[in-house]
Structure 1
Amino acid sequence: CNNKNGQPVKRKKGPAPKMLGNEVCSVCGDKASGFHYNVLSCEGCKGFFRRSVIKSAQYSCKNNGRCEMDMYMRRKCQQCRLRKCREAGMLEQCVLSEEQIRLKKMKKQQDEETARTSTVVTPTPPQEVATLDPQQQDMIEKLVAMQKQCNKRSFLDRPKVTPWPQSQDLQNREVRQQRFAHFTELAIMSVQEIVDFAKQLPGFLELTREDQIALLKTSTIEIMLLETSRRYNPAIDSITFLKDFSYNKEDFAKAGLQFEFINPIFEFSKGMNDLHLDEAEYALLIAINIFSADRPNVQDHDLVERLQQPYVDALRSYIMIKRPNDHLMFPRMLMKLVSLRTLSSVHSEQVFALRLQDKKLPPLLSEIWDVNE
């Protein structure tokens, strides 16, 4: 993995080359265990680099950053070790979050189980019947009731939304501004729904104000997209808001959004619609999404993970009861949360494009999406 001058050489994308058994780590010189983050490294340096990046760790060197890294010093000076990791070519954008790793392992286990059961025909022992304990049942019922109440308040605010203009003149500046205002006001109502729902989740108010803000800022657009998919109508390929307002792709475009953002929204909505989720499953997914400990600027990761776990357990049990023969539904649903991370990145690009068009977002949306006007 090094050239003749001792400099690391980044390998090309694709399957990792077969190891000969005598390779050494590009960071510390220990026996390498594989190609991690695009560079040959040992298991220890791989894990250290991943944890450091995820937790945004800050280290200090007692030797003014002049430590020579080897198998001994890698345990003595973490700052120089992290610096050597980056110099060796480890890529931070290749690091998977804790949630992504868990989902990846879960999917691999499910795939192995499916392959094993499809090739070996054995008598199927009676499976243990999944049940929801009283606490889980009560939690799910409260989640669904909370969501309905938040939606009801938004529906009552419907008259406050700027009317969608009837004019088809695409060149009229006033008409374009009305369409944009219509969509942004719907977005504001959705944000307010999400904030109200989050504040009612058990444990959310136990978090520091800083962690509450960090979770809401990063999860809001993803929950908005989940709610959008929930309102998708495959028969007319449109999305309905507040029971009466239906919009197709062209309507989104008329409001100033780009098809690079519109098309992924509709594709995601179609995929979610194919899962045929009910209100309880959507509510649990939203709660799981809110309590994601790997969000930027979250400080108390352990508390956020503990708050998330009951919703994960309840969703798993609920799915086993509702779909006892579909063992892949639970990982498929969690993988949708990973897809939302990609859509969130596309949304950031859309917000930037709107600013280039001189379309100013309302203060609430600017704050929640960290837009500096």
Structure 2
Amino acid sequence: MAPQSKMRENDSNRRCLVCGDDKASKHYGTVACNGCKGFFRRSVWEKRTYMCVGNDTCEVMQQFRNRCRACRFNKCVQVGMDARAVQSEREIRSPDKNGKKTKAAAKPRKGSIPVASSSSLVSIGPSSSFHSSTPEVERPPVVKKLFELQRRVEGACCENFEDLIACFGSMCNIQITLESALETPEKVAMRTKLTWNDTSRLANLNDLKVTWCRTFVWYHDYLTAFDEFERLNLTDRHKLFKLRFAPVSWVLYSWQAYKNGIDGVTFTNDAWYPNDPEKQSFMPKPCNDYYMKIAATMSHEMVHVMKRIEMTEEEYSVLLAITLFRPDYRISRDGNKLLEATGNIYSRALAEYCKNREHSELKAMERLGTLMLMLTSVETLTRQEDDNVQYLAIFNMADLVGLPYEVHSAMRRNDSPD
């Protein structure tokens, strides 16, 4: 065997220094697998910024290497991946039809959301359109931070989950206390890829539990990404988690229905609940009991409003955070001070964004008022869901006893602040 061929064979037998994959070779100055090579290249080419939801100490393993992109990228750098080599590779020129060399265009990442230029619309899913990031509108730093945070959390998932139904069926667990679930959310559901735009089939009873569990993990990741949450005392943290789970979730569901052009509630796997009465007639009764009224409310009071004002992803990101950081009489006095101060920062940032987006101050005020009125609609959706979960749990009609019942019913008691 030629020495050069032998060297290539030895390289292919090495382990990736980033994630430990046993199929690795020399890339960008170190030994890495093709997955980590591609991840590092995309990150450098697209100048991505990642933030760790923990303390920048996440373990990077092959099966969970996409769980924290910040720590994965840091690991790439630590083991010797050279960004200059990536940039040099991008500068490689290919001859055009006239024989001149031009820069090769970077291929868009599969599954990524394209960014709209000017006031163009981005098409996502069947017959859908929505305003994504709009570069012509100046984004206040707070808005930019919240935009990147929500995208990072939604993109956090484990790889190699091909059969979503089988994975969810074996990994969803609601027979667990909230305290244990907050400590280890993976006990409730694995971070399977969120597939909001996949409406392959009508939802069944198991899908109802599946989407609740996966949303729980998404919400946990979103909430714990904020430093302000860690500054609350333990009791307030638990109360805030329960109080804001449903409101924040319905902002999420509404946005996904709007973004993907879905007339109904899209689930976290490949199922959905339609608003069409004819399709609803094929649904199990508990699914209709849970979603029929709430889906209609969401479409009328949330999705239609988003369509009317052509809501942008930046506005969604800020509204999500404002929904989360709202004072409540059941939170302690010190906790409410923190929530109010944080919420005010985000509200001012949204007001500034609306002012930059509109041509007149009056239009900006009208837009801001429309966005903030959706908070009232979210509270209506929350009350409806709380009632639905308790009803179905009492009659054991949809396997929602356990964690869902604890989250949706505990705060209905006359809890007083500490």
Gaps of 5+ in 2: 1-136, 171-202, 412-418
Summarize the Cα distance change of 1:243–1:356 in structure 2 as closer, same or farther, 3 Å threshold: closer
Residue 340 of structure 2 corresponds to 305
Summarize the Cα distance change of 1:265–1:285 in structure 2 as closer, same or farther, 3 Å threshold: same
Residue 263 of structure 1 corresponds to 296
2:287 counterpart letter in structure 1: G
* 1:227 pairs with one of 239, 244, 252: 252
- The CA distance in 2 between the partners of 1:345 and 1:307, in whole Å, is 25
Q: How far 1:304 sits from its partner (Å)?
A: 1.4
Pairing 1:336–2:374 present: yes
Pairing 1:141–2:180 present: no
Residue 390 of structure 2 corresponds to 352
Task: Give aligned pairs, total.
Answer: 225
Pairing 1:238–2:264 present: yes
Pairing 1:153–2:156 present: yes
Residue 198 of structure 1 corresponds to 223
2:252 counterpart letter in structure 1: E
User: Which 10-residue stretch deviates more, 332-341 or 288-297?
Assistant: 288-297
Summarize the Cα distance change of 1:215–1:306 in structure 2 as closer, same or farther, 3 Å threshold: same
Secondary structure (helix, strand or coil) at the match of 1:207 reads coil
Q: Contact conserved, 1:188 with 1:364, CA < 8 A, in 2? A: no
2:404 counterpart letter in structure 1: L
Summarize the Cα distance change of 1:155–1:284 in structure 2 as closer, same or farther, 3 Å threshold: farther
- Correspondence list, 1:60-79, <5 A: none
Secondary structure (helix, strand or coil) at the match of 2:311 reads coil
Residue 217 of structure 1 corresponds to 242
Q: How far 1:282 sits from its partner (Å)?
A: 1.0
Q: How far 1:298 sits from its partner (Å)?
A: 4.1
Among the aligned pairs, what percent are the same residue?
19
TM superposition score normalised by structure 1: 0.53
Secondary structure (helix, strand or coil) at the match of 2:344 reads helix
Larger radius of gyration between Structure 1 and Structure 2 = 1
- Correspondence list, 1:49-88, <5 A: none
Q: Contact conserved, 1:232 with 1:270, CA < 8 A, in 2? A: no
Summarize the Cα distance change of 1:297–1:306 in structure 2 as closer, same or farther, 3 Å threshold: closer
Residue 316 of structure 1 corresponds to 351
* 1:274 pairs with one of 308, 333, 340: 308
Q: How far 1:323 sits from its partner (Å)?
A: 2.4
- The CA distance in 2 between the partners of 1:188 and 1:295, in whole Å, is 27
- The CA distance in 1 between the partners of 2:338 and 2:205, in whole Å, is 39
Residue 285 of structure 1 corresponds to 319
- The CA distance in 2 between the partners of 1:302 and 1:270, in whole Å, is 34
Q: How far 1:161 sits from its partner (Å)?
A: 2.2
Secondary structure (helix, strand or coil) at the match of 1:231 reads helix
Summarize the Cα distance change of 1:278–1:154 in structure 2 as closer, same or farther, 3 Å threshold: farther
Secondary structure (helix, strand or coil) at the match of 1:263 reads helix
Gaps of 5+ in 1: 1-129, 164-177
Q: Deviations over 1:215-274 (max 9, x none)?
A: 221111111111111121586523434484343132776552423333213323333333
- The CA distance in 2 between the partners of 1:289 and 1:185, in whole Å, is 24
Secondary structure (helix, strand or coil) at the match of 1:277 reads coil
Q: Contact conserved, 2:327 with 2:339, CA < 8 A, in 1? A: yes
1:263 counterpart letter in structure 2: A
Secondary structure (helix, strand or coil) at the match of 2:405 reads helix
- The CA distance in 2 between the partners of 1:295 and 1:152, in whole Å, is 34
Q: Contact conserved, 2:390 with 2:408, CA < 8 A, in 1? A: no
- The CA distance in 1 between the partners of 2:138 and 2:150, in whole Å, is 24
Secondary structure (helix, strand or coil) at the match of 1:292 reads coil
1:140 counterpart letter in structure 2: V
Secondary structure (helix, strand or coil) at the match of 1:293 reads coil
TM superposition score normalised by structure 2: 0.48
Summarize the Cα distance change of 1:336–1:253 in structure 2 as closer, same or farther, 3 Å threshold: farther
- The CA distance in 2 between the partners of 1:252 and 1:336, in whole Å, is 29
User: Which 10-residue stretch deviates more, 152-161 or 279-288?
Assistant: 152-161
Q: Contact conserved, 1:219 with 1:289, CA < 8 A, in 2? A: yes
- The CA distance in 1 between the partners of 2:208 and 2:265, in whole Å, is 12
Q: Deviations over 1:288-331 (max 9, x none)?
A: 11111125344422221112111111111011112234230101
Q: Contact conserved, 1:204 with 1:212, CA < 8 A, in 2? A: yes
- The CA distance in 2 between the partners of 1:245 and 1:323, in whole Å, is 37
